[in-house]
Structure 1
Amino acid sequence: MAQEFRIASLDGLRGIAASAVVFSHLPFFYPSMYAWMKVGVGHEAVAIFFSLSGFLMSLLYSNRPVDAGNYLIHRFARIYPVYAVAVLFVAVLSLACADYIQPLHGVGQIVRHLAMLGSTGVFWSIPPEIQFYLFFVLLWLWFQNPIRYQWIGVLTAVLLAVDAYLGFPGPGILLTSKLPYFLFGAFAGRLFAIQKTRPDGPVTGVAALALLVFFFLCRSLIPTETTFWGLTSALTGTVIVYLAACSNRISEAVLASRPLVFIGKISFSLYLFHVPVIFIGTRLLGGFISTEPALLLSIALAYVFAWASYTIIEDPSRRILTGLWKNRPQRLPAPAE
């Protein structure tokens, strides 16, 4: 597989989204935050994650020959090892601490989460991600040969229309409930990949940052009765991802800054481990210092732990598994008779 490239601004955007998820969960540990935090930003952050996934899958793969086996192995190696460790970590913590806030109890629940069908805590967002990876193989075929596989495009459009008409039914762990985020992201990634020129003026950079701020603050500033999840937020999140990818120097100054790019690199581990690490940190430190300093130190510990997880588990396991796949014995063609 060709070497993957990175867009620094998208790494920084991922870092912002991961930090927003951490922020959205702080009321678990500091309940007084509920008094001034009218609406969290966790949904917005996860919406950006979903749009980013669709965008990056198209950007990285849609111009390459379809190789489903190679692609799925790389996706599995990227997601599953550190995810499985996180599930087991939470399971052990749930057994050790009866008051853990997002527990996993019982063999059945643990197995369900290891099979990526669970919905406890942050783990709920992994099943639709994996389901989209499988669905993307069809999109990949369509992108590669839109004439031959036009039926995939038609069925995708029909599926999106029916899904939207029904109100994106099903629990959050099903792709149908979050389909527009991945699809809009994939279409934007395909557009970005085939464009010869892209918008790169200062308006693009200002718009990327302004829309990002608006997206995170809108529900707090402008209360609405409508649900967050749907076509509107999916389109908004995708536009943010696309504008950020255009990497104007104004938006790059923020999104491609070294701290945000670093957080983006460790974002998956941060997303998976921040709740249990902050829980442990506040419990251990709470007996020695007041609540606020204990919480701040625990948040810092979550970022350090995420870096350690990325360094020790996430990156090495990905390299080992993809290396084993790359160096697997190849079946030789049968000799001609």
Structure 2
Amino acid sequence: MNGPGHIGSLDGLRGLAAAIVLVSHITLIFPEFGPLPYFDIGTEAVGIFFALSGFLMAYLYGGRSVTRESVGDFLVSRFARIYPVYLAAVCLVGFLSLVAKLGYPQPIAGPLDFVLHVMLLGKSGVFWSVPPEIQFYVAFPVIWLFLRDPRRHQVIGFALMGVVAVVSLLDFPGPGILLHAKLPYFLFGVVAGRLHAALSDRPPKAAIGVMAVILLVVFFGYKHMVTVSGEPFWGLPTAFASALIVALVAREHPLTARVLSSAPLRFLGVTSFSLYLLHVPVMFLTRQTFAALLPLPMLAVLTLVTSLLAAWVSYNVIEAPGRRRVGEVWRASRFRRALLRRPIALMDRRDAGRGLDAGGATFRG
């Protein structure tokens, strides 16, 4: 899975963000602990996830030709990456929500809400962040056209900047599950991804590592450095900071790479999506099962351990096999063969036969 364009430190950054979300939900399962200072940074981690997605899509695909085949492969690979394990997590939460006496803290509220979640329009718990991710993937081929030939498709570039300007002036209106409310995070990530592609043959300077460490500390600790009110996170400043962190970490200076490329964080990075989707129901079930057997601190630690174990099992049993199976079905499908038989060049006929990796194997974006 580690191709020539693989960036190990981004595995670790994704793993770090997933671990932060996991720990930030301790008080959701154990309200007895009360508010825990310095643990309320799960939202910041989600901002990193969004910027990472923009970065990776631009870095991995932005320089490739845009054809019917490549776009079809891209969309199917993104769907295969997300949907099988997402659907499994929705079904698990839906089942827990049916048993009212359990008191699951982030329920899916009835059959209609369940259908909305299955259709990628739900917002229970962490599921709210999946719809804008999927919407970004659907929109990315248009962005891809601009990246491939900015002069020819300059209208797309100006339109994207216009959307960001309008939504920021209107204070990011509308439901958070719609793409426009989170678009700056993805787009700043896209800019960072193309910048990295341009600089990837140059060794990082020492200042890159220092800036990455400082920005990580400030990004996850600013709430405790200054006084903030209301919902302070979502906005242009944090979108820019999220993407800049991804860009700096991607340069893989030894100061950050020694930690973020370490085996534990890369393991978390590989299993991060399963961990992100499943940790709340798994922690909840663990507490329900062992509450009478262990003191509270030991029980809290056990919920973290079982979440990691469940993520590993989910990755190996659902996520990776599901991605492979969907890719196999797509590659063998008549519809894909029909795309290949038709005139497919949207931009560059010379590269029409190249296509894309069905699974986006260079990096699990």
TM-score range, shorter chain: over 0.9
CA distance in 2, matches of 1:4, 1:201: 22
State the partner residue of 1:80: 83
Q: Give the drift of 1:57.
A: 0.5
1:246-261 paired onto structure 2 within 5 Å: 246-261=251-266
Instruction: String of CA shifts for 1:123-154, please: whole Å, max 9, x gaps.
Output: 00001111111121111000111111111011
State the partner residue of 1:155: 159
1:182 aligns with 2:186: yes
Q: Give the drift of 1:312.
A: 0.3
- Taking only aligned residues, the RMSD between alpha carbons, in angstroms, comes to 1.7
Asked if the contact 1:56/1:186 (under 8 Å) is kept, the reply is yes
CA distance in 2, matches of 1:205, 1:194: 18
Structure 2 counterpart of 1:71, from 69, 74, 90: 74
The structure-2 alpha-carbon separation of the partners of 1:203 and 1:4, relative to structure 1 and needing over 3 Å to count, comes to closer
The structure-2 alpha-carbon separation of the partners of 1:219 and 1:229, relative to structure 1 and needing over 3 Å to count, comes to same
State the partner residue of 2:224: 220
Asked if the contact 1:281/1:295 (under 8 Å) is kept, the reply is no
Structure 2 counterpart of 1:308, from 313, 321, 336: 313
The structure-2 alpha-carbon separation of the partners of 1:235 and 1:290, relative to structure 1 and needing over 3 Å to count, comes to same
Asked if the contact 2:249/2:256 (under 8 Å) is kept, the reply is yes
| More deviation, 67-76/25-34 | 25-34
Report % sequence identity.
45
The structure-2 alpha-carbon separation of the partners of 1:43 and 1:215, relative to structure 1 and needing over 3 Å to count, comes to same
State the partner residue of 1:50: 50
Aligned residue identity for 1:160: V
Q: Give the drift of 1:199.
A: 6.0
CA distance in 2, matches of 1:51, 1:127: 15
The structure-2 alpha-carbon separation of the partners of 1:4 and 1:118, relative to structure 1 and needing over 3 Å to count, comes to farther
1:165 aligns with 2:169: yes
Give the TM-score of the pair, scaled to structure 2: 0.87
Larger RCO (CA within 8 A; separation ≥ 6): 2
The structure-2 alpha-carbon separation of the partners of 1:20 and 1:86, relative to structure 1 and needing over 3 Å to count, comes to same
State the partner residue of 2:96: 93
Q: Give secondary structure in 2 for the equivalent of 1:208.
A: helix
State the partner residue of 2:272: 267
Give the TM-score of the pair, scaled to structure 1: 0.94
State the partner residue of 2:143: 139
Asked if the contact 2:27/2:36 (under 8 Å) is kept, the reply is no
Q: Give the drift of 1:107.
A: 1.4
CA distance in 2, matches of 1:106, 1:17: 31
Aligned pair count?
A: 332
Asked if the contact 1:15/1:263 (under 8 Å) is kept, the reply is yes
Q: Give the drift of 1:35.
A: 3.9
| More deviation, 72-81/151-160 | 151-160
Asked if the contact 1:39/1:220 (under 8 Å) is kept, the reply is no
